[in-house]
Amino acid sequence: MTLPSSSAQHHPALAAEDPELAALVGAEEQLQADTLRLIPSENYVSSAVLEASGTVLQNKYSEGYPGRRYYEGQQNIDPVELLAVARAKAVFGVEHANVQPYSGSPANLAVYLAFAEPGDTVMGMALPMGGHLTHGWGVSATGKWFRGVQYGVRQDTGLIDFDEVRDLALKERPKLIFCGGTALPRTIDFAAFAEIAREAGSVLVADIAHIAGLIAGGAHPSPVPHADVISTTTHKTLRGPRGAMLMSREEHAKAIDKAVFPGLQGGPHNQTTAAIAVALHEASRPSFRDYAHAVVDNAKALAEALLARGFDLVSGGTDNHLILMDLTPKDVPGKVAAKALDRAGIVVNYNTVPFDPRKPFDPSGVRIGTPSLTSRGLGTEHMATVADWIDRGVAAAGTGDEAALTKIRAEVADLMSAHPAPGLPTD
């Protein structure tokens, strides 16, 4: 079995200076190597992305934008950011890209700052239906400082009800309409949202945080002809560092740039900008198209295999990288299942399902996805095995059969050792 070696070998300076921290990093490397990681917002970045994000570029302050900085010594930083911007424009086919947002949540906050005033009405998908906190949900600053109104999915189909979205938009006339979310297993109809936004006089924001890699790889339709603003993280299906980007047509470039800096942030994280540039370089390759399509093929195969084992999937399946299981028919709460699967070496997250009768901290669902397993080379031929592990794990969660979970854990580690993950040390 190939295992990552000790952290001392791969991070010698860290191990010498801070053995306690180095041991934790080593343990995390081991965990990421041995487990089947199914959280749909996570991934494995390449060694190249990892190296770029750990460079001395992080020592540099560069408030402002290339050619317009408030600090000297930008001889190398400006070209790094220009490279990231040019690659973002090429990969997504947009006129403008800002690569400075620290992460997806601040990127979305910058959109509010650019296009709305405190107290304005904004519209997004309800969090328990699969939206994101930053789409105007009450506990978020975006729901406290703005008036959030929410749409959802239909109970009978699990799909977005565009009649409901249109009625709500025309009644509320929101400044912003967000589409996209965190637990949506189906293709987002950007054209339908754009038509509604036009009728309502709203700015349409496509938040593609989860599916950016699928869009870059041509495995999900692009929002580019339809959305006024595109917001994305860079660390999910796109396989870059933790960061974010805002993209738009030229007409909104100034408003977005001003909102990010000086509106919301100070100095950009240049090491992250560099790693974004590397990830976009990787995403422009033909092999990334293969990756994006393989992610979707794997998710569809896994969904079929789960349906065949009696699982109830929200919307009946998937079009993308994500599957939302409603475990009500299995009579196992989502959290109980998630914790048991974790002990079996299968890492998932418990999640609300639409119209969930249970509480958000103890919901009915489990959310899974295929970006990480695809990054380590698993294919459709492995999905029956994965579904079988989930099936046995959920059953063992119900009966409290710890021995069954231990057995699954060994089987998982065995398959994982045959498919080394990118970015992890092997020796």
Give whichever of 153 and 305 is closer to ligand PLP, judged by the CB atom: 153
φ/ψ of residue 203, rounded to 5: -85, 125
Catalytic residue among 63, 161, 342, 388: 63
Q: Which is nearer to ligand PLP, 108 or 318 (CB)?
A: 108
Please identify, using beta-carbon distances, which residue of 181 and 240 lies nearer to ligand PLP.
Answer: 181
Q: Is residue 304 flagged as an active site residue?
A: no
Q: In whole angstroms, how close is the CB of 178 to ligand PLP at the nearest point?
A: 8
* Catalytic site includes residue 233: yes
Q: How far is the CB of 243 from ligand PLP (least distance, A)?
A: 8
Catalytic residue among 37, 186, 236, 300: 236
SS3 349: strand
CB of 272 to ligand PLP, least distance (A): 11
Which entry of 207, 228, 326, 356 is annotated as an active-site residue?
207
CB of 4 closer than 8 Å to CB of 10: yes
Q: Residues of 122-143 as b/e, b for ≥16 C-beta within 10 angstroms?
A: bbbbbbbbbbbbbbbbeebebb
Binding interface with ligand PLP (CB under 6 A): 41, 103-105, 108, 132, 134, 180-182, 207, 209-210, 233
236 is catalytic: yes
- Report the residue closest to ligand PLP, judged by CB: 104
Question: Across-strand partners of 205?
Answer: 178, 229
Q: Which residues pair with 179 in a beta bridge?
A: 206
Q: Which is nearer to ligand PLP, 7 or 351 (CB)?
A: 351
Q: Minimal distance in Å, beta carbon 322 to ligand PLP?
A: 10
Residue 101 contacts residue 242 (beta carbons within 8 Å)? no
Dihedral angle at the C-alpha atoms of 409, 415, 417, 420, nearest 10 degrees? -120
For the CB of residue 40, give the shortest distance to ligand PLP in the complex, in Å.
9
Cβ pair 316, 183 in contact under 8 A:
no
Which residue number, 179 or 303, has a Cβ lying nearer to ligand PLP? Answer: 179
Catalytic member of 35, 134, 232, 233: 233
Q: How far apart are CA 127 and CA 143, in angstroms?
A: 11
Q: Residues 208, 233: contact at Cβ < 8 Å?
A: no
Spatial separation of the C-alpha atoms in residues 20 and 26, rounded to whole Å: 10
Q: Is 61 a catalytic residue?
A: yes
- Catalytic, out of 61, 121, 189, 380: 61
Q: Catalytic amino acids?
A: 61, 63, 207, 233, 236, 242
